Structures are given as C-alpha cells and as structure tokens.
Amino acid sequence: MRLDDLDALGRIDRHDTRRVLAEFALQCRRALQLRASPPIAVNRPRLVVMAGMGGSAAGADVLAACAAEALDVPLLVHRGYGLPAAAGRGALVIASSYSGDTVEVLSAVEAALARGVPVVAITSGGALGALAASHDLSRVTLPDGLMPRMALGYLVFPALGALAACGTPVASSDDVEEALQVITTAVTDLRPEVVTDRNEAKRVALAIDGRLPVIYGGPVTGAVAYRWKTDLEENAKRLATAGVLPEMNHNEIEVWRGEEARGLHAVLLREGDEPAEIADRFTLVRELIDPAAGGITEVWARGRGRLARLLSLVSLGQWVSYYAAILRETDPWPVPMLTEFKRRLGAPAGERSLP
Ligand code: F6R
C-alpha cells in the first residue's frame, strides 16, 4: 500500500476520517467559542478534578500538562469510577464525556452531587447531558457525530475556558492563538495530499510499520506519548506502549537489548528548548538503545507555548496512527471491540455471553 495513492486511501478510509483530522484546527476554533451555561459560579477552587475516560480524558491530560507549571492549584485527571477522597469541600469537578454515556464519568458526577462538589459537564448529550440538565449544572454542549478521540478540540478548549472562568487559567489568550496557528500549519503539512517525502506523519508511520511502537516523551510531552499509544491502538488497531523520561531510565531502559529489541521502534517526542537535563537523557537513551533497537525516530514539537507544542504533537500522532491504519488496510474510524465491550457491559448481567 502506497500512502500517496489517494484512491486506495479513500477506499480504506470509508468513514472519511481524513476530513475530520484535516478539520482539527477548525474544530478547535469552533470549540473556543463554546461557553458553559448556566455560567460557572466557582472562584479559585482548591483542587480541580477532571473526570473522563479514553478520548475524553485526553483533553484533560493536555490541560494537566499545561497546568503543571502554570497553575498553583492541583489539577488531577481522574480515570475511573467515583471520585478521589480529596475531591470534597472547595473542589471543582469537570466531567468530560463526549458521548455522555460513559458510566465511570456518570459515577464521578453522582459522587460529586452526593458530596456537594460543583460540577461542570462537557458533553454532546447522552445520560450526562440529561443528568446535568436535571440538576441545572453548568454544562457545555458539544456538537455530536464525531468519534470521541477525534473530538479533542472540543474536549480541550471548553475546559480551558471553564478553568479560566474559575480563576484557574492554564494558558493565556496569546498561547491559545499561537496554538491555533501552529495546528493549522501542522495539519496542512500532514494531510494525505502531501507526498511521503514531505510528510512527516507518513514517514513515521512507515518507519514503525512491522515493529512495536514505543513512544517516549519528556516530563511535558509524556502526556502526548500516551495519546499516541491510544491513537495507534484505536485507529490502527495495533499495540503500542508509552513511557516518560526520566522514569524510563530507571526501569524500561533494560528492555532495549538482545534480539527482542529488534522488534521495537522507539519514537522520541522532543521539545526545542527542553531542560538541559532532559535533553541529555534523550541523547543518552539514543546512544544506549541504538545498537539493539529495531529503529529510533525523533519528532519535534512545533511552536513556543506549551499548548501549541502539545497540540502539534497530538496532531502529528493522530496522522501517524491514521497512516498506520491505512498501511494495514484498516478503516481508522470504527472501534468494534470497544463498542461491543460497552454493549455487553450495559446489558443485564444474565444476558452477557462469551463469543
Ligand atoms: C472512542 C474513544 C474512546 C472513548 C471512551 C469514553 O473514539 O476515543 O476512548 O473516548 O470510550 O467514551 P466518551 O468519550 O464518550 O466518554
């Protein structure tokens, strides 16, 4: 399969995922206009918990990575049922579920209601939309029709606005404007019409083909490494792993030896002016794993601000996973196992059956 053969690509990508990915910058601009209603009546929470799963948690990861250096209030990303014990008086819960039907997020909102913790719901509807409406919770209503993992703009920018409205901003308006410009250029460079020689996403997809992709980020880009892993798994239906420096220097680095490492391909997510101690570690990792690794690819974030850098790497990862799917002749859009799992989970226990 040649990635520059647009007819073949169109036959595999039956749901036109390429159009959704190509409209990422537009999606982000639309998302930026959305506001919570009724308005958020919280000022300077002592803790923010962002509850979400899968694609709907990915926006929270981006915001948590922005918050790490910008915000003096802890921001937790909560993936699971209920809420952590710390989410009590003075906390704020931002509940994100694109479909609105994710049971873990619904249970987080129920826990917040039981504890009297204010909630902002971000959803296209579903049970979360109904629950938020019945309690008159602040909510941002998203347009529907997307796959949650392809609605990242809608899961980042309204939450960014909600955080700013509470006096806990994680990015300035200049950062936001820069991010939008950087994404616009990135997407233009990565679309299928741009041939492999000039298309970084196609080249990375070809490089990792046939080997297990192992994505490593630094302290900031680590959140995006995890996103690359999940996009490869959901879009290309192939296993990937993600890790973070410096932590991997203390354990995972041992894997990169012997015959087994030939089947691994490291992708390093770098930033131009990362701290010297992190840059040194990336250099050393390269040196040490190179003799055994099946391959190593380095990619660099675009832009100056944290938001631009994170979203530019997210966008590159989306396209890499898209082309990885095409190489396997797999439609990137549907996620039949995930859908079937949710269906069975929702069925009364007695009706569950094994295949
Ligand atoms: C599917 C996807 C999944 C969902 C997850 C939670 O495209 O990305 O990871 O995001 O199953 O569902 P939502 O996002 O609807 O709460």
CB 236 within 8 A of CB 284: no
Give the residues surrounding ligand 1 with Cβ less than 6 Å away: 53-56, 97-99, 102, 105, 147-149, 234, 335
Residue 91 φ/ψ region, left for φ over 0, alpha for ψ in the -120 to 50 degree band, beta for the rest: beta
Out of 15, 99, 152, 318, mutate this one to test ligand 1's pocket (max ligand atoms within 8 Å of CB): namely 99
Q: For ligand 1, what atom is nearest to the CA of residue 155? A: 14
pLDDT attached to residue 2: 86
- Which residue of the set 104, 234, 271, 274 is catalytic? 234
| Segments of the chain with pLDDT less than 70 | 1, 347-355
Q: What is the pLDDT of residues 193-203, one digit of tens each?
A: 999 999 999 99
The predicted structure's pLDDT at residue 353: 46
The reported pLDDT for the residue numbered 348 is 56
Residue 250 among the catalytic residues: yes
What per-residue confidence (pLDDT) applies to 351? 46
Q: State the pLDDT at residue 183.
A: 97
**Where would I find the beta strands (DSSP E) of the chain?**
47-51, 75-78, 91-97, 119-123, 138-141, 212-217, 241-244, 264-270, 295-300
Q: pLDDT tens-digit profile of 208-231?
A: 999 999 999 999 999 999 999 999
pTM above the 0.85 mark?
yes
Where does residue 273 rank: exposed (0-12), middle (13-18), buried (19+ CB within 10 A)? exposed
Q: How far apart are CA 112 and CA 139, in angstroms?
A: 15
Q: Please tell me the predicted confidence (pLDDT) of residue 77.
A: 98
CA of 294 to the centre of ligand 1 (A): 32
78: annotated active-site residue: no
For residue 56, the ligand 1 atom closest to its alpha carbon is 14
Q: Is the Cβ–Cβ distance between 201 and 194 less than 8 Å?
A: no
Q: What is the pLDDT of residues 7-32, one digit of tens each?
A: 999 999 999 999 999 999 999 999 99
What local confidence, expressed as pLDDT, does residue 281 receive?
98
